[in-house]
Amino acid sequence: MNRNEFLNSLKSQLIKIPESERADILYDYNEHFTIGIKEGRKESEIAASLGNPSVIAKEINANHMINKAEQSYNLTNTFSALLAIFGLGFLNLVFVLGPFMGIVGTLFALLVSGIAIAISGIALIIAPFLANIIPNLENYLSIHPAVLITSGIGLIAFGILWIIGFSYLIKLFYQLTIKYLKLNLNIILNRRNQND
């Protein structure tokens, strides 16, 4: 493999990296070739000592996705990081992705139920006022309006606490996921270097 083949191969596999960052990475390798050739080494020899461009690209991509997920909390980034790591061929897609989606779904459902609790509180508060507008509603409301309003406030407060609690739990789960991905990346990289 000569210099151009190496650099083109690396470049074509770094399409997910932002342009400026990619140029920065390629600059390093290009410079390495320039100096190496000046020292009288062959292009193919330098390319061989640098290693396989696909392996280098996979490592850079995985690192990039994890950094991105770490910097901004969102599901798409975490997902990309997961997929980048799967690309390195270490984690089993089904065994990790299944439980991951399950936990994400459960946490989301619990968050939504918090919102539902808060909304039912609001409904209790406005129910006595609705009774004046909707004629037959009065028959169903045998409870004193004051009781309705205080329990409504109670439910809203409970709903908000619930939402805050689960938001913390979601954040914690997110951080644990990132940590787990980083750990995996380190294991993969260590293994690879051992195989070199």
Partner 1 sequence: MNIQFKKGVLELCVLAILHKKNCYGYELVHDISNSFAISEGTIYPLLSRLKSEGFVTTYLEESQEGPPRKYYQLTKTGKLFYNELKQEWITFIAGVNNIIKEGELIE
Q: How far apart are CA 128 and CA 34, in angstroms?
A: 81
71-93 as b/e: b if 16+ CB within 10 A: eeeeeebbbbbbebbbebeebee
Q: Kindly state the smallest distance separating residue 76's Cβ from partner 1, in Å.
A: 19
C-beta of 25 vs 160, nearer to partner 1: 25
The dihedral region occupied by 178, where left means phi > 0, alpha psi between -120 and 50, and beta the remainder, is alpha
Binding mask 2-41 for partner 1 (x = CB under 8 A): ----------------------xx-xxx-xx-xxx-x---
**CB-CB contact of 61 with 14 (8 Å):** yes
Q: Kindly state the smallest distance separating residue 180's Cβ from partner 1, in Å.
A: 18
Residue 59 touching partner 1 (CB under 8 A): yes
Instruction: Report the amino acid identity of residue 189.
Output: L
The dihedral region occupied by 102, where left means phi > 0, alpha psi between -120 and 50, and beta the remainder, is alpha
Interface segment toward partner 1; rule CB under 8 A; list 83-91, 103-111, 163-171, 186-194: 186-194
C-beta of 2 vs 190, nearer to partner 1: 190
Instruction: Please give the residue ranges that form the binding site for partner 1 (CB under 8 A).
Output: 24-25, 27-29, 31-32, 34-36, 38, 46, 49-51, 56, 59-60, 63-64, 67, 190, 193-194, 196
